Amino acid sequence: MSSSMNIHLLGHIHRIGRKARSLNTLFTIDKSEFMGIGTLGVRSWVCAWIIRGSAGFYAGQPPLNRVAFQRHSSEVMNRHLNDPETRFLVFKDGKPLMKKDESGSILFLTKNQLGDDELGKEFGVAPSDASSETKKYYETSRLPHTQPPLVFLGIDDRQSPTTNSSSKVDHLNPQGPAYFALDAQGDTLNWDELLERENGEWGDARSSGNNMSPWDAGVYAQGRALVDWNARNKFCPACGSPTYSLWAGWKRNCLSSVQPIEGKEPCFSTKGLHNFAYPRTDPVIIMGILDSTGEKMLLGRQKSWPKGMYSCLAGFIEPGETFEDATRREVLEEAGIEVGPVRYSSSQPWPFPSNLMVGTFGRAKDGQTIRLDLDNELEDAQWFPKSLLQSIISSPSGSTFSKKDYKQLDDKAQSHHDQESSAALAPSEKKPDELVAKEGELGLSRVPPSTAIAGQLIRQWARGELDLVSKL
């Protein structure tokens, strides 16, 4: 036993070394996850290569430096706002402003290009005679509350990274251009003129991500989630009064905090414990379920999905659940399969509108029959052998989806359950005008691309990367 385990681990470490280099050219790899082989004594760390694929798509690698503590200061935020180097990412109804002639390139604007009318007022401060308690209600506020949402995203400090080993740049004031996201409201004609002048166009809400660089995709995801949250949460869930933005777009309060609202009682959300004020992030579990041999994976499809596409099962995590519990519940509900051990793999932000995908692997118990009649969410679910998945992921058309496919998925992604499943599909690397599944409606011919976490889970398993020594 001991010697075979030994061979097992070494075999993996050697293989991983090769794989890491070749994968590096295919995927965005989180550099900080790479470690050398440490001393392997009894009391020391087990360190080996940890491979992370592009599950970080939409997370940005490296991410913007969010300098979250700067959001509270109107002074600092207004300095960024007025800096000619600052860049603005603009959305209209969730659609990003893109360069017209460069597929996948965000058209970031400067303040000069934008114009004061489109941007709105500077961030406000409290009246000078306000108490320190009252001042909190005005921190980097956007009043009057009817102005278009404006959100500080962070600093692009890639040119002079703030590291502790360098004393040149202070963590308090990272250097580099600031980024904001802005919701395009107001006169449509003005925006039409601006688009004409700057050679921009409103991209597609979902498939614009298609050809974005991973870095741009990270800025896009953060901006989209925050602008969307601000634009949609215009009223207080506690009392129905309007809300206003503060903390440079990262908080919304009931307007009754700063002015009396006619015909309304004092709102309970102005004091006490609640979570109305902060952006929400909805965690979704998505899982690669293996049979007890580890040689088959459970994949399913919904009726509304593009022809031939299967993906990992998925579902929203409910209050009172761990990731592991949620994984077991969802697989039972969707496919009637009981799952034993569950292991976390990776997470991926998914800004449609504000999901956080949590990828797990789980092992099914033996001797079970798939059944779809519990929650009737899936059209089909099957155990697929590793060899079949290997051939699909190595085929050029195995993760290729047409514009029509995306539209089909977008049109359906209007309900809660469809949100879960749409997250199974991410922007494709290739876009043929049309692609016909080679097999029948229920035959597997496509799986999500590697930019989606489901595509990552399937590839990690099919490529034999699951048994890594992934310890600190």
Q: Which of residues 81-110 bind its own copies (CB under 8 A)?
A: none
Among positions 108, 123, 138, 323, the unique one binding its own copies when judged by CB under 8 A: 323
- Judged by beta carbon, residue 113 or residue 185, the one nearer its own copies is 185
Distance of CA 234 to the CA centre of its chain: 23
Closer Cβ to its own copies, 92 or 328, answer by number: 328
Residue choice 257, 347, 399, 460 for contact with its own copies (CB under 8 A):
347
Residue 368 touching its own copies (CB under 8 A): yes
The smaller minimum CB distance to its own copies, of residues 280 and 404, is found at: 280
Q: What secondary structure does DSSP assign to 59-114, as a single string? A: T-SSPPB--GGGGG-HHHHHHHHH-TT-EEEEEETTEEEEESSSTT-B--B-HHHH
Q: Decide whether 22 or 275 has the Cβ nearer to its own copies.
A: 275
Polymer length in residues for the chain: 472
Q: Give one word for 425, left, alpha or beta, with left for phi > 0 and alpha for psi -120 to 50.
A: beta
Q: Which long-range contacts (CB under 8 A, 24 or more apart) does 405-413 make?
A: 405/306, 405/309, 405/435, 406/204, 406/206, 406/207, 408/304, 408/305, 408/306, 409/206, 409/304, 409/305, 409/306, 410/205, 410/206, 410/207, 412/302, 412/304, 413/206, 413/352
Q: Do 359 and 350 touch, CB atoms closer than 8 A?
A: no
132 binds its own copies (CB under 8 A): no
- Measure the CA–CA gap between 284 and 175, rounded to whole angstroms: 35
**Range in contact with its own copies (rule: CB under 8 A) among 137-145, 192-200, 372-380, 395-403:** 372-380
58 binds its own copies per the rule CB under 8 A: yes
Q: Which residue from 233, 390, 400, 408 is in contact with its own copies, where contact means CB under 8 A?
A: 233
Candidate segments 105-113, 139-147, 362-370, 400-408, binder of its own copies by CB under 8 A: 362-370
Task: Rule CB under 8 A: say whether 367 interacts with its own copies.
Answer: yes
Shortest Å distance, C-beta 432 to its own copies:
27
**Closest distance of CB 121 from its own copies, Å:** 24
Amino acid identity, residue 62?
P
DSSP code string of 251-290: EEEEGGGTS--TT-PPPGGGSSS--TTS---EEEEEEEEE
Pick the closer one to its own copies by CB: 26 or 40.
40
- Which residues 16-55 are close enough to bind its own copies by CB under 8 A? 30, 32-33, 35, 37, 40-42, 44-46, 50, 55
Tell me which amino acid residue 166 is. S
Contacts of 286 (CB under 8 A, 6+ apart): 312, 313, 314, 357, 358, 359, 360, 423, 424, 453, 454, 457
Q: Does an H or E element contain 155, and which?
A: strand 150-155
Amino acid letter for position 176: G
# of chain residues touching its own copies (CB under 8 A): 121
Residue in 290, 381, 435, 447 binding its own copies, rule: CB under 8 A:
290
What's the closest the beta carbon of residue 101 comes to its own copies, in angstroms?
27
Q: Binding to its own copies (CB under 8 A): which residues in 407-466?
A: 413-414, 416, 419, 466
Q: Does 239 bind its own copies (CB under 8 A)?
A: yes
Instruction: Work out which of 126, 169, 277, 372 binds its own copies, going by CB under 8 A.
Output: 277
CB of 314 to its own copies, least distance (A): 14
CB 307, CB 436: distance < 8 Å = yes
Rule CB under 8 A: is residue 5 a binding residue for its own copies? yes
In the complex with its own copies, which residue's Cβ is closer, 327 or 445? 327
Question: Cβ distance 204 to 212 under 8 Å?
Answer: no
Residue closer to its own copies by CB (options 177, 464) is: 464
> Which of 149, 200, 349, 398 is in the footprint of its own copies by CB under 8 A?
349
Binding test (CB under 8 A) with its own copies, winner from 20, 126, 336, 372: 336
Asked if 221 interacts with its own copies (CB under 8 A), we say yes
Spatial contact of 48 and 147, defined as CB atoms under 8 Å apart: no
